[in-house]
Structure 1
Amino acid sequence: MKHASSLEQRLKSQLTGDVFFDAFNRGRYATDASFYQIMPAGVVVPRTIDEALRAVAIVKDDGRVVTPRGGGTSQCGQTVNDGVVIDFSRHLNQVVSLDVENRTCVVEPGIVLDDLNRQLRKHGLWFPVDVSTASRATIGGMAGNNSCGGRSLRYGTMRDNTLSMEAALADGTLLRFGEVPRDLSNLNAPDAGLKLFRDMLDLGEREAAEIADKFPKVQRRVGGYNIDALVPRNAPNNMAHLLVGSEGTLAFTTQVELRLWPVIRNKALGVCHFGSFYEAMDAAQHLVKLRPIAVELVDRTMIALGREIVMFQPIISAAVRGDPDAILVVEFAEEDQVDNLSRLEQLGELMADLGFGWDNRRRKWGGVVEIVEPALQAGIADFRAAGLNVMMSMKQEGKPVSFVEDCAVPLPHLADYTERLNAVFARHGTRGTMYAHASEGCLHVRPVLNLKLEKDVKAMRAIAEEAFEMVREYKGSHSGEHGDGLVRSEFHQAMFGARIVADFREVKQRFDPGNTLNPGKIVDPPRMDDRALFRYAPDYRVGELKTALDWSAYPGAGGGFQGAVEMCNNNGACRKIEGGVMCPSYRATRDEKDVTRGRANTLRLAISGQLGPDALASDEMMETLKLCVSCKACRHECPTGVDMAKMKIEVLAARAATHGVSLRDRLVGYLPRYLDLASRFARIANWRNNSALLRMLLEKFAGISARRSLPAFRRDTFVAGADVFGPADGREVVLFADTFNRGYERENLDAALEVLLAGGYRVHLPRPADRARPLCCGRTFLSAGLVDEARTELDRLVATLAPFTARGVPIIGLEPSCLLTLRDELLSLRSDEVAKNLSAHALLFEEFLVREAEAGRLSLPLGVVAGKAIVHGHCHQKSFGAFRPVEKVLRLVPDLNVETIESSCCGMAGAFGYGADTYQASLDMAELSLLPAIRRADPDALIVADGTSCRHQIMDGSGRTPLHVARVLAMSLNYAKSSSNPSMPAKE
């Protein structure tokens, strides 16, 4: 490794961006969304374009190859190689210029599509190559891949919308690739560039007849080099179109000039139902005659999987009738909504003419569900965009594999092609999943295979050969959207012929004679089934793992922990920077290390021995997980269900078993057991907050930031004067007094008790039989990896509450992280029926009240307390679908306008924000959206946050005092009382 060390030193000495040559960081860049894995020699994350070009020169001089990388979501292995990866996405992501009048812009290659469109939207413009990975796909990657998106029927592909590109050749020559006259007159370019352009135009002229004969006549052709852009034509040739789709093999892109379009203002969707998949595919050729902008397929498998995913259940319920074998989502988007509605009516008539309506004999309905509500349209778009990852959410060893992923055939042949393809799958003992772009004859087709098995690898090879032969028979393209990479480049000779492949090789040689730029793609590739290049290579092994939690829901060794880790398919949804919660640490740092995908990749490499012995409990693994705030957002928002918060507990348990527990983790973990003692000596226990010396000492020895004030202990902790309150005939509930509200903010429990009593409930405050200490959910112990101690606390809690849940009494909690432990981690520690019954009866305060109100059982005399409430949702509430009840309960308060902050994690996240090494990251997360929104809020507005840590972060960062919902309702009760009895003073 001396050679690599020398290269590393050169790069670090001449660049200010990150340079990584360690195994953990290289491993995070060894995969993309394909099934390949190639460990790079190093990774560079340049801060400027000049630094990126300098890195290319240094790496080339050292004899290594270079692979440019954006979001790393390529499905064919385009962004993996054994040289140095250069990551554009972290810093090289700016809009260089925008011309609103002429609808063009120039961007750096690392800008993410959604981020670009957010900036364009205020000008009424957008870039319409709307790939399903828009939340993380970079423009540079889309150009390299010639991406298409769901609406290419109207807007075309990336090639059609790229006006010019600036790029450097491997030798450092910087050129502008754009429209050129065939005689190259008046072209301002260096001699080397002019010679290159002349050679390319000559090649196009020489090969024009062969190109016309061999290139497929379908729009969705993104295979090979676009040498058809070089043939003589009436208009100037655009040299940028040769770079589009070249997968980083020809030049190193520095800027891209794009054509922009007016935003879509009106839409109407028709969801067409079909009793058979063949009928749906055959109908596509007729539906496109109505000139929709998209016709998207969703098959039976995807519908069934979507019905199992909480976030998609209401969408499918609203859009899908009965049990269709397939649906086609037809989208109209003309400027005038009247036109869209007219076409929707024509769609219904056309479906009826085709014979798809209500079948009285079979009692099956195959008509059109009309979707005009924007929110539901957006939900359907999200579901369709998540199609690939919904398919990948199967909890089994076999997964849908991308290799005949996006073959494109002319629409009249689509039904026959898909029927024959299913027969091929069946012949090889598998089945396929299909979805996506029926309007273009390009379906995302994935056979279910287990590529850890040699027999399934052989089946993959055979299926590829048979499928591509069929595509050629139909005069289609074996690369219809996702490019060539390592999967399809091998098959170019069969598709295009030997002469065209020789032309491709000539282009590569002319641009990059030293084969420096991303070799092995398009030209001179390895075999697509070379298992040495697979993520699960022949020697891939995961040894027996003794796990602390139950992972039996997942396949694989290690009690299922391996299967849980391997659920990550690198789709990169966790890299989105707006919307939802996932992934707050990545949003703050933009570092691959700090995103769910990066952590999952590191875990997979660690448990399979690829990062050395004892990697799971190593310091490097702790560094990898350090900024994971256990928000559980990935549990809810990751399309494949990666649960990093749960995995982190497992790793912390392994770390604790190997290296013991730090002083900070002991202070945090054992808080429930010493809180009452500290409360008795609250004045002494709180000295630290008022002493600079004690702050400094606690930071030095326990890692607790001196810049944070700790929650103050108080002598008057919440201690119920009795075990039960309220009328004997009232409906029974249990109020669970968690450690945080009991010890630090008893006002919340007092308020909740007041509200429940006002509602006429009989409230139990049970105490454990041993009376040794109050009940605890074990959350603090889990956060420190002390799983056995957490199990002890949960066993005490289950034993105490079991008699209540046995007779159906709800368990109500205030602190989301504590109460929801009973719905989540409890079942990973106990699988008995008593624990399951407790989990089923555990409700947050707002969930219970909303349930009662909707059942007509809640009557609270509430009064006006304020004009507006600004609400921040706790991450766990959002993960478990428990946040909407917060909004609903607050709307019970008269005249209260409820406004929700669109925010990710607050950044405090339990003890995370108190760490000396995580304090700044905590603030960075809060400053992304939460704290700015609080500062903008009306001074008279109520600030509402249910989470203890959320309230502390808001108070520290803004000076505002946030309230739990229970206190808002209690205030409302008291204002109502004071209004009816003016002599009674209102109290908070």
Structure 2
Amino acid sequence: MNEIIRPGLFRRLSKEIAGEVLFDRFSRGRYATDASIYQIMPAGVVVARTTDDVAAALDAAREEGLPLTMRGGGTSQCGQTVNSGLVIDTSKYLNRVLELDVEGRRALVEPGIVLDDLNRFLKPHGLWFPVDVSTASRATIGGMAGNNSCGSRSLRYGTMRDNVIAIEAILADGTEGRFAQLDQDTSNEPPRELIAAMLALGRREADEIEARFPKVQRRVGGYNLDALMPAAEPINLAHLLVGSEGTLGISTAIEIALSPLPKSTRLLGACHFPSFRAAMEAAQHIVALKPTSVELVDSTMIALAREIAMFRPTLEAFVEGDPAALLLVEFADEADENDRGMEALRDVMSGLGYGFGKGGEREGGVVAVKDAKLQAAIADLRAAGLNIMMSMKEAGKPVSFVEDCAVPLEHLADYTDRLTAIFERHGTRGTWYAHASEGCLHVRPVLNVKLDKDVATMRAIADEAFAMVREYKGSHSGEHGDGIVRSEFHEAMFGSRIVRAFEEVKAAFDPSGLLNPGKIVHPPKMDDRSLMRYPPGYAVEEIATAFDWSAWPGAAGGFQGAVEMCNNNGACRKMAGAVMCPSYRVTRNEKDVTRGRANTLRLALSGQLGPDALASDEMVETLKLCVSCKACRRECPTGVDMAKMKAEVLYQRGKGKGFSLKDRLIAGLPRYAPVAARLTDLLALRDRVPGLAALSERLFGFSRRRTLPVFRRDWFRDEEGRGGEIPADAQERRVVLFADTFGRWFDPETLRAAVKVLQAGGYHVEIASLGGGERPLCCGRTYLAAGMADRAREEARRTIAALLPHVRAGRAIIGLEPSCILTLRDEFLALVPGEDAEAVAAGAMLFEEFLVRESRAGRLSLPLGPLDRKACLHGHCHQKAFGAMSAVEAALRLIPKLDLAIIESSCCGMAGAFGYDAETIDVSLAMGELSLLPAVRSAPEDAIIVADGTSCRHQIADGADRKAVHVAEVLAGALDRPATAA
């Protein structure tokens, strides 16, 4: 299935390249798309480790007559990073800061360094690179230079062109040179004849360039011929490469100008408007106040973001009512200057007739945001604008092709009105957001590009929209470049003479057309469906799915539609903050990121990876390092839930190929646990007798480097939760404790602590069960991990049957293990859809969620004594995915004098059986070492380490030799302390 189409080239590169050489079909498929509508299967992929790798790949491509395309984060929205030849990925290894001149505010970096990573490196030096694109968590400096990226603060800091000093590059023939100001050191300059030809072209075409190039800052289309004009003093040849989309040379190092970090005294004003046009008309007046940025958020984005759990609290904090549009205006100077700017902003808004009346921070139509955390949350919301817009669960999606046209501000209102009318005339609507300060709005009409008629509509809208942009003397490429989408429109925009000059530049740098052909010059048609992600004949067969995917349109029971929610924008590639995607943070492989998995699933479902690809070994390998942390469920703004998708794929494979002995041992744990707990001494021999651990690794795949969990003789029994007869006046104080498998058999002290705390709070505790000697209830988590969804469904039905009477009686269902109790709120709804599952999901809550709810309602009274100690809290991934971390913090803050610190960590890496598997233990340990284990080791010796997840506690014990406890145990310990304790 996974054959290599150019075995000779693969063998050659495998010998010459120090990095990775990927020529199998699955790997090539993962590099066939970027964040555009296009898909072109490459011949192979080189993950370059050194610049010598890049040079060797270039030599091989030239000799084979293959195109070569450079790729960083793969987030281009116009098809810049897809092609049919070799693709070179620089993001994994070529990502270092080579030189830093703090005093001179300059740095020399490799092209694969990600903007956020660079800025984290620069922050201790009081510097940053200010081209702050919304994709900063995954956009590479090389890619940003290739696209001439801009960012939300370009009003103050300019574009990439304004911040690139020099570029060290390899030309198509292998020649190396440093492209920089002509008056600088010439020891490593490009060929003199090339320089002479470019300067001659600049002189010859100066008048035409002056006449035809749009006079807007957001003009990033074509080649920057204006950098060659005699008036462009001093002439910098690097500026010709900026924006060239890898068609003229290959960057190996980029020298960039740095800026001082912005003042910490930022002030943000959220201007509310009753109509979209009103916001567009106001933009020019607000820009006159000289803010740092003015960003648009429209009503569609607000409505969609309100449906996304991670953004809902942010909107509630600063949005008043239901505005048709917001303009987010930032001032980032000294505090008094910011205050004056805010007052002027209120005056402008009041003068335009918009206002809330007098109301402190909410007046004059403006909500003033001073809190730095809320400002950051709003910035994250705005930065996620694209993905939020793409979260529509319908066949049509907002499509990028007139995405970032830029017009002069005085025409912005008329332009947006007329463009809206074009959309309506073609039977669609548009979504709007982004850079109102520059007259560059990201607008996407909603279309279904699987349909010929919608592709024809896309073409018609493009023709009309670009003609209007030319009428306003604007630019059809305002930020995201040309790629396949816009290159063919250059002739109309710039005229034939300028386009011939573009072709002359390309021929001078790359006469054989080797470097990323089809971009900027000699392009294909933008509506060529053979180049698209959904080409003619794209189809998916119906399959009987384990989960209910009906919320998404599409074949395969809606599974296809859920998979296709991934728009390739790459938010999952971030290396810091929150959780997603922990396996990628360790390996930095496209295979091991949510986007790469989703692409592989889409290609497999549509038959593009060969027959039976969905159940293949290669698909298992693709999903192997997914730890089902559910971070993508929350942090991916389009809601790609890879944990559930993985369970679906394992189920589909298991139907045809069965399950391994290891899978059955993992899945069946809840059933054999009662017997195993009685044989605990015998089972413990595995980790006591030399050689048995190695034998278990060979037989079952459990790593010899891990001790297995110990079944407890003193397991938790249901009668331990019984509180005797319930007084008639205490019926409303009844609660039901869901004793999960892991707590019952491995960590019974957690359940006992929970019972103690609940009873101390005056609650009557019952243990959830079916009664009549039935085996204990189970959420089915272990079955889901193995792909045995049918067995998980059986457990879900048993559990729902047991819990439903309690839920209908108004009793809370309380659980301790996040992965178990939250299964009731998630997978149960997809395994057993219907009102019963919904009722149980609504009634199920984590132990700490219940306590905080009761405390806020004034119903909780716990005799907690002070704990004058530090507590370090690590959140379970599922707690974070369901927004439950604030409840853990609030529950711990009920304890007097407890000094609580939050460990900023991604996944602990244990993830159930993942950390015990011999094939994945190295990645498991590496995940822990990213942040959690170092933080635990550095905690004071007497600090309480708090982790609600069984797996998390085991990883902490193994990796940091520290005992971690559940929040219930901390609270129970505080009950034992006298109120007068110090």
TM-score range, shorter chain: over 0.9
2:439 aligns with one of 438, 441, 450: 441
Q: Tell me how far 1:824 sits from its aligned partner.
A: 0.3
Partner of 1:548: 546
Partner of 1:311: 310
Q: Tell me how far 1:798 sits from its aligned partner.
A: 1.1
Per-residue CA shift, 1:615-671, capped at 9, x if unaligned?
111000000000000000000000111000000010010111111111111111000
Partner of 1:109: 111
Q: Tell me how far 1:437 sits from its aligned partner.
A: 0.4
Q: Check the 8 A contact 1:723/1:766 in 2, yes or no.
A: no
CA 1:172–1:27: 2 relative to 1, 3 Å: same
Q: Tell me how far 1:97 sits from its aligned partner.
A: 0.6
Q: Distance in 1 between matches of 2:792 and 2:144?
A: 47
1:643 aligns with one of 630, 635, 641: 641
Match of 2:412, SS state, is helix
Q: Distance in 2 between matches of 1:15 and 1:2?
A: 17
Per-residue CA shift, 1:528-575, capped at 9, x if unaligned?
000000000011110111101100111111111010000000010000
Partner of 2:22: 20
Q: Distance in 2 between matches of 1:864 and 1:279?
A: 56
Partner of 2:703: 705
Per-residue CA shift, 1:484-533, capped at 9, x if unaligned?
00000000000000000000000000000111100000000000000000
Q: Distance in 2 between matches of 1:234 and 1:805?
A: 74
- Following superposition of structure 1 onto structure 2, how do residues 234-249 of structure 1 map, counting pairs within 5 Å? 235-249=233-247
Match of 1:935, SS state, is helix
Match of 2:887, SS state, is helix
Q: Check the 8 A contact 1:273/1:365 in 2, yes or no.
A: no
Partner of 1:654: 652
1:579 aligns with 2:574: no
2:248 aligns with one of 238, 247, 250: 250
Match of 2:167, SS state, is strand
Q: Distance in 2 between matches of 1:168 and 1:697?
A: 53
Partner of 2:466: 468
Letter in 2 for 1:923: L
Partner of 2:475: 477
Q: Distance in 2 between matches of 1:468 and 1:758?
A: 70
1:814 aligns with 2:816: yes
- Following superposition of structure 1 onto structure 2, how do residues 281-680 of structure 1 map, counting pairs within 5 Å? 281-334=280-333, 336-358=334-356, 367-680=365-678
Q: Check the 8 A contact 1:554/1:564 in 2, yes or no.
A: yes
Q: Check the 8 A contact 2:4/2:25 in 1, yes or no.
A: no
2:739 aligns with one of 725, 737, 740: 737
Q: Distance in 2 between matches of 1:558 and 1:435?
A: 33
Q: Distance in 2 between matches of 1:68 and 1:835?
A: 49
Q: Tell me how far 1:337 sits from its aligned partner.
A: 0.8
Letter in 2 for 1:84: L
1:843 aligns with 2:845: yes
Partner of 2:681: 683
Per-residue CA shift, 1:671-725, capped at 9, x if unaligned?
0000000111111122111123221121112111011000111221111326631
Letter in 2 for 1:107: V
1:49 aligns with one of 43, 48, 51: 51
Q: Distance in 1 between matches of 2:720 and 2:858?
A: 29
CA 1:110–1:725: 2 relative to 1, 3 Å: same
Q: Tell me how far 1:51 sits from its aligned partner.
A: 1.4
CA 1:722–1:704: 2 relative to 1, 3 Å: closer
Q: Check the 8 A contact 1:813/1:843 in 2, yes or no.
A: yes
1:788 aligns with one of 779, 787, 790: 790
Q: Distance in 1 between matches of 2:186 and 2:958?
A: 60
Q: Distance in 1 between matches of 2:980 and 2:483?
A: 72
Q: Check the 8 A contact 1:69/1:88 in 2, yes or no.
A: yes
Q: Check the 8 A contact 1:875/1:905 in 2, yes or no.
A: yes
Q: Check the 8 A contact 2:146/2:244 in 1, yes or no.
A: yes
Per-residue CA shift, 1:88-144, capped at 9, x if unaligned?
000000000111101111100000000000011111111110000000000000000
Match of 2:6, SS state, is helix
Match of 1:131, SS state, is coil
Q: Distance in 1 between matches of 2:765 and 2:639?
A: 37
Match of 2:976, SS state, is helix
1:967 aligns with 2:965: no
Q: Distance in 1 between matches of 2:948 and 2:268?
A: 38
Letter in 1 for 2:608: Q
2:804 aligns with one of 793, 802, 813: 802
Q: Tell me how far 1:308 sits from its aligned partner.
A: 1.1
Q: Distance in 1 between matches of 2:616 and 2:768?
A: 42
Match of 1:409, SS state, is coil
Per mean C-alpha deviation after superposition, the further-off stretch among 83-92 and 692-701 is 692-701
Q: Distance in 1 between matches of 2:465 and 2:719?
A: 74
Q: Distance in 1 between matches of 2:381 and 2:835?
A: 34
Letter in 2 for 1:854: R
- Following superposition of structure 1 onto structure 2, how do residues 849-888 of structure 1 map, counting pairs within 5 Å? 849-888=851-890
Q: Check the 8 A contact 2:739/2:768 in 1, yes or no.
A: no
1:724 aligns with one of 722, 725, 733: 722
1:173 aligns with one of 172, 175, 184: 175
Partner of 1:39: 41
Partner of 1:10: 12
Q: State percent identity of aligned pairs.
A: 64
Partner of 1:143: 145
Q: Tell me how far 1:16 sits from its aligned partner.
A: 1.8
Q: Distance in 2 between matches of 1:42 and 1:3?
A: 9
Match of 1:525, SS state, is coil
Pairs aligned (count): 972
Match of 2:710, SS state, is coil
Q: What is the RMSD of the two structures over their aligned residues, measured on CA atoms?
A: 1.5
Q: Tell me how far 1:745 sits from its aligned partner.
A: 0.8
Letter in 2 for 1:819: I
Structure 1 stretches of 4+ with a deviation exceeding 3 A read 977-980
Q: Check the 8 A contact 1:274/1:366 in 2, yes or no.
A: no
Letter in 2 for 1:822: L
Match of 1:681, SS state, is helix
Per-residue CA shift, 1:377-429, capped at 9, x if unaligned?
11111111111110000000000000000000000000000000000000000
Q: Distance in 2 between matches of 1:897 and 1:865?
A: 8
Letter in 1 for 2:153: R
1:834 aligns with one of 827, 833, 836: 836
Partner of 2:906: 904
Q: Distance in 1 between matches of 2:241 and 2:440?
A: 23
Q: Check the 8 A contact 1:812/1:843 in 2, yes or no.
A: yes
Q: Distance in 2 between matches of 1:156 and 1:714?
A: 64
Q: Distance in 2 between matches of 1:59 and 1:454?
A: 35
Q: Tell me how far 1:59 sits from its aligned partner.
A: 1.7
Letter in 2 for 1:10: R
Q: Check the 8 A contact 1:741/1:748 in 2, yes or no.
A: yes
Q: Check the 8 A contact 1:866/1:941 in 2, yes or no.
A: no
Q: Tell me how far 1:864 sits from its aligned partner.
A: 2.7
Q: Check the 8 A contact 1:392/1:569 in 2, yes or no.
A: yes
Match of 2:443, SS state, is strand
Q: Tell me how far 1:805 sits from its aligned partner.
A: 0.5
Q: Tell me how far 1:358 sits from its aligned partner.
A: 4.5
Letter in 2 for 1:497: G
Q: Tell me how far 1:269 sits from its aligned partner.
A: 1.1
Partner of 2:129: 127
Normalised TM-score (structure 2): 0.98
1:89 aligns with 2:91: yes
Match of 1:472, SS state, is helix
CA 1:291–1:530: 2 relative to 1, 3 Å: same
Q: Check the 8 A contact 1:723/1:767 in 2, yes or no.
A: no
Q: Check the 8 A contact 1:651/1:785 in 2, yes or no.
A: yes
Normalised TM-score (structure 1): 0.97
Q: Tell me how far 1:832 sits from its aligned partner.
A: 2.2
Q: Distance in 2 between matches of 1:406 and 1:346?
A: 29
Q: Tell me how far 1:359 sits from its aligned partner.
A: 8.9
Match of 1:97, SS state, is strand
